[in-house]
Amino acid sequence: MTAGAPITLSEDHRDCFQEITNVAIGQAADVLSRMLNVFIVLPVPNVNILEPSELTMALTAVDENDSVSAICQGFTGGGVAGEAMLIFNDANFSDIAKLAYDHQAYSDELEMEMIMDAGNLLIGACLNGLASQLEIQFSQGQPVVMGRHVHVPELIDTNKSRWTKTLAIEVNFTIENSPVACDMLLLFTEDSISVLKQKADYLLD
């Protein structure tokens, strides 16, 4: 990457990333609806290049708001690297518990269990979907529950200088006739963007 060269997305690239994500989240939603026996409303993914400050703002909101939980998991493969992040509103947990864990009383342990299960399913299915279309295979790191393992502002401070720009794909999952919703962010590193563009060009041809 030459210094100072602006990273932008052409409409074609944006559409292509959106379409690839659409297919992937379709698979993820299918997995989730089979697990919970509900209908998942399929969202239109939001594709953007984010500045560090914008991302910092989003992450700080997660940390400052006690009633929000997030899990993040790193992935890498074929020159594409990034992190997947799943953000829940805690008010949802009792509703999710009703849907998926009806035999268990609500507790902190169950909440952890729910975050991990949802992370395994949604992030896993999305990454599988992306990987198969891009013809790469991702290694996934151990997921980290934010705010429990780590304090978010510290995480951002230590990384500030390393961050440049990131390609962010945002997906908002909702369940029909239910207040349950969660946000998934797929964040790709700056040096992954050119690889992704190449892959997209190949698909567009």
Report yes or no: 86 and 173 within 8 Å, Cβ to Cβ: no
The only residue of 142, 158, 161, 177 in contact with other proteins, by rule CB under 8 A: 142
| H, E, C per residue of 28-95 | HHHHHHHHHCCCEECCCCEEEEECHHHHHHHHHHHHHCCCEEEEEEEEEECCEEEEEEEEEEHHHHHH
Residue 76 found at the interface with other proteins (CB under 8 A): no
Q: Which of 149, 157, 179, 201 binds other proteins (CB under 8 A)?
A: 149
Residue 133 in contact with other proteins, rule: CB under 8 A: no
Choice from 21, 56, 69, 73 touching other proteins (CB under 8 A): 73
Query: Of residues 70, 119, 152, 173, which one binds other proteins by CB under 8 A?
Result: 119
- Least distance in angstroms from the C-beta of 184 to other proteins: 15
Pattern of binders to other proteins over 35-64, x per CB under 8 A? x-----------------------------
Residue type, 15: D
Closest approach, Cβ 141 to other proteins, in A, equals: 9
Pinpoint the alpha helices (H) of 107-169: 108-118, 124-134, 152-159
Backbone angles phi, psi at 73, to 5 degrees: -145, 130
The nearer residue to other proteins, 121 or 155, going by C-beta atoms, is 121
Q: DSSP letter string over 9-25?
A: --HHHHHHHHHHHHHHH
Helix 11-36 vs helix 124-134: crossing angle, to nearest 10: 140
Residues in the site for other proteins, rule: CB under 8 A? Answer: 31, 34-35, 73, 109, 112-113, 116-117, 119-121, 124-125, 128, 140, 142-143, 145, 148-149
